[in-house]
Amino acid sequence: LSDKLQETFKRLKGKGKLTEEDVSEAMREVRMALLEADVNYKVVKEFVAKVKERSIGQEVLESLSPAQHVIKIVNEEMVALMGSVSSKINISSKPPTVILLVGLQGAGKTTHAAKLATLLKKQGKHPLMVACDIYRPAAVKQLQVLGEQIKVPVFSIDGENPVKIAQESIRHANSQGQDVVIIDTAGRLHINEELMGELRDIKATVRPHEILLVVDAMTGQDAVNVAESFHSELGVDGIILTKLDGDTRGGAALSIKAVTGCPIKFAGIGEKMEALEPFYPERMASRILGMGDVLTLIEKAQSAFDEKQAREMEQKLRKQEFTLDDFLDQMQQIKKMGPLSSILEMIPGVGKQLKDVQIDEKDTAHVEAIIRSMTTEERRKPAIIKDSRKRRIAKGSGTSIQEVGRLIKQFEQMQKMMKQFAGGMPGMPGMPGMP
């Protein structure tokens, strides 16, 4: 960066770096908050250590105190850990799609079988619910009542074992043209071998496309053991976290995600059939942290900062000072926000256009490597990059001369376009690294 720009950035960032002391102090508060939210103590310990290490030395955002800045980082890490929104059910190309619901007794399996059926029906599917909880006399009836209510057929066989019922249900679905089979299973109060054995047998027989673990958000420290056992025995594809309408802080969400790595796909927020939502990591993080006021403040500071940066960027664009360095910065910013495709989907009007375009994240990695292999001067004036430089850069970045050439060409086109639209948003489709 030029000296002038570096000065500007210094002024922007202002406050200096986070010291170990800043971080330790703030982390004490964070640790308390997480334990209060019933996040598993081992998860808390690991999480705090990791974030601590990452925080020390980071620049403090203008208008935040060091402690607030640490909380900002904690919040971001929690959101990242709990994953991006992915409340998609794996629909099989060859129907029926088979969904197996597992979990402890009272977690909400039966209720959520019906909620999922409601959701899928709205999406134009023809679900069949299957009653495999034969142990509690009222369990089959419960599913049948829900089925009548939402007008979804329920499959059951009196006096048969759960494995056989599950197996027959697939045949039944095929003959009736039901394209999704949702299997409601029995739970137990605690994990036991009998339960796991039965679930393993059902799994082996029906080969579900999706095994969803249903967990009560009020489950405290034990959530980790529950999730770990189910996951290691069955291989869970996703979690439904239920009863989030209660006043629990829901630390189980963080615990479960941390130990299993399984995406939390849905949140149950009530007993009604419509009370099912995609899981929102941002909301969950702020709920677990329980520092709403601080987070609002941080958000404001962040958006003020972003605005300032955007203005800076705009100025550069107007003055034709936008370099490959800035471009790299922008890419870094975007990467922080998550997968490119999901960000583009959020931009009004862009999502639809790009729906069928696959964005190759590998491509952006190449772009990054190429820019990093350039000298400062080259980044500022790509026009000086002729054949021998291209060769050097290609070698340094592990790419090809053609790729380097393409990037430079695209960048120049982008600059040209920016000149035309100076002041507006850089045109997305022209950005290098995107097809």
Closer CB to ligand GDP, 187 or 281, in the complex: 187
Residue of 270, 338, 426, 430 that binds ligand GDP (CB under 6 A):
270
- Which residue of 111, 156, 260, 286 would you call a contact of ligand GDP, by CB under 6 A? 111
Amino acid at residue number 193: E
Minimal CB distance residue for ligand GDP:
268
Residue 184, marked binder = yes
Which of the choices ligand GDP, Mg ion, none does residue 251 contact, using the CB cut-off of 5 to 8 A by kind?
none
Pairing of strands 210-216, 276-278: unpaired
Is position 108 an interface residue for ligand GDP (rule: CB under 6 A)?
yes
- Which residue, 131 or 367, has its beta carbon nearer to Mg ion? 131
The nearest distance, CB 252 to ligand GDP, in angstroms, is: 13
User: With binding defined as CB under 6 A, does residue 277 bind ligand GDP?
Assistant: no
The answer to whether the annotation marks 235 as part of a ligand binding site is: no
Q: 409: Cβ–Cβ under 8 A, 6 or more apart, which residues?
A: none
Sheet of strand 127-131: strand arrangement: 154-155, 127-131, 180-184, 97-102, 210-216, 238-242, 264-268, 276-278
The dihedral through the CA atoms of 347, 299, 364, 383 has a sign that is positive
Task: Kindly give, in sequence order, each residue whose CB lies less than 8 Å from that of residue 7, ignoring residues fewer than 6 positions away.
Answer: none
Residues binding ligand GDP: what is the number (CB under 6 A)?
Answer: 18
* Selected binder of ligand GDP within 66, 96, 103, 263 (CB under 6 A): 103
Q: Is 118 annotated as a binding residue?
A: no
Residue 26 in marked binding region: no
Per-residue binding letters, 170-199, with ligand GDP (x by CB under 6 A): -----------------x------------
What gap in Å lies between CA 229 and CA 176, rounded to an integer?
Answer: 35
197/246 with CB nearer ligand GDP: 246
25 binds ligand GDP (CB under 6 A): no
Closest by Cα among 115, 147, 86, 145 to 243: 115
Angle at 14 between CA 12 and CA 17, to 5 degrees: 125
Rounded Cα distance between 22 and 70, Å, is 8
Q: Tell me whether residue 105 is annotated as binding.
A: yes
Return the range that interacts with ligand GDP (CB under 6 A); candidates 117-125, 188-196, 267-275, 338-346. Answer: 267-275
Q: Which is nearer to ligand GDP, 188 or 406 (CB)?
A: 188
* Both tokens assigned to 156: 């059951």
**Sign of dihedral through CA atoms 14, 20, 25, 27?**
positive
Q: How far lies 28's CA from each of 16, 23, 48, 49, 71, in Å?
A: 22, 9, 9, 11, 11
The SS3 call for residue 215 is strand
Whether 433 and 364 have beta carbons less than 8 Å apart is answered as yes
- Taking the least distance from each CB to ligand GDP, the nearer of 266 and 327 is 266
Binding of ligand GDP by 109 (CB under 6 A): yes
Nearer to ligand GDP, 108 or 432 (CB): 108
Asked if 217 and 252 touch (Cβ cutoff 8 Å), the reply is: yes
Q: Give me Rg for the CA atoms of the chain.
A: 26
The two three-digit tokens of residue 288, written as one number: 């677990």
Residue 136 vs 171, nearer CB to ligand GDP = 136
Measured from the CB atom, the residue of 238 and 268 that comes closer to ligand GDP is 268
Residue 106 in the binding site for ligand GDP (CB under 6 A): yes
Question: Whole-number minimum distance, CB 107 to ligand GDP, in Å?
Answer: 4
Among the candidate windows 11-19, 100-108, 153-161, 320-328, which touches ligand GDP by CB under 6 A?
A: 100-108
Note the residues at the interface with Mg ion (CB under 5 A): 109-110, 133
Burial 29-51 (b: 16+ CB within 10 A, else e): bbbebbeebbbbeebbeebbeeb
Q: How far is the CB of 113 from ligand GDP (least distance, A)?
A: 8
The one of Mg ion, ligand GDP, none whose footprint includes residue 29, by CB under 5 to 8 A per kind, is none
Binding segment toward ligand GDP, per CB under 6 A, in 33-41, 88-96, 109-117, 252-260: 109-117
User: Residues for the chain: how many in total?
Assistant: 435
Q: Which is nearer to ligand GDP, 110 or 169 (CB)?
A: 110
Interface ranges with ligand GDP (CB under 6 A)? 103, 105-111, 187, 214, 242-243, 245, 268-271, 275
Which residues participate in the annotated binding site? 103-110, 184-188, 242-245
Which residues participate in the annotated binding site for GTP? 103-110, 184-188, 242-245
